[in-house]
Amino acid sequence: MYDVKVYVTYKDSVLDPQGEAVKGAVHRLGVREIEEIRIGKYFEIKVRKTNRPIEIVIEEICDKLLANVNMETYRYEIREEV
Amino acid sequence: MYDVKVYVTYKDSVLDPQGEAVKGAVHRLGVREIEEIRIGKYFEIKVRKTNRPIEIVIEEICDKLLANVNMETYRYEIREEV
């Protein structure tokens, strides 16, 4: 079994209005230290071992389902459970 | 300046119906290796240095705004920009 963490974020060239809105809310709280907030999605996935390489499995579901590759980019970390 | 990454996830005791739905969609794609998916939020935050400790700033905005501490838990990583 593998524990995989996937992080999906907007590409740098894409505006993140939700992040801007949260930054505004943080400032209204009185917290002045925050310069920028960008919001993404985070997936914790348990994957069963098969004879397909784990990277192939993860990239397939990211490309087809978890990320909109036109606007978003993703990265992932794989940890093998012992 | 600090680069901070915050991960907000449901507590283990809280069901994640969105994660269940995505798992169903993954299986309908034909990817059988996936055992479990849990979905969270991910924030990339740029924080200006002040004389308040960075941990205090981050925990304040997490507790008050980014996470619903009744149902969610969070963790964060701080990297100082050089």
| Contact call for A7 and B42, based on CB within 8 A | yes
Put simply, the answer to whether B65 touches A32 (Cβ < 8 Å) is no
The CATH code for residues A2-80 is 3.30.1280.10
Closest to B61 (Cα-Cα) out of A30, A67, A59? A30
pLDDT band at B39 (very low <50, low <70, confident <90, very high): very high
Are B69 and B76 in contact by the 8 Å Cβ rule? The answer is no
Closest residue in chain B to residue A65, using alpha carbons only: B26
For residue A38, list chain B residues with Cβ-Cβ distance below 8 A: 43-45
Q: Look up the ipTM and state it.
A: 0.86
pLDDT over 90 (residue B22): yes
Spans of all domains in chain B: 2-80
The pLDDT assigned to B81 comes to 86
For chain B, how are helix, strand and coil distributed in percent, rounded to 5? Answer: 30, 40, 30
Q: Tell me the pLDDT of chain A (82 aa) as tens digits.
A: 999 999 999 999 999 999 999 999 999 999 999 999 999 999 999 999 999 999 999 999 999 999 999 999 999 999 998 7
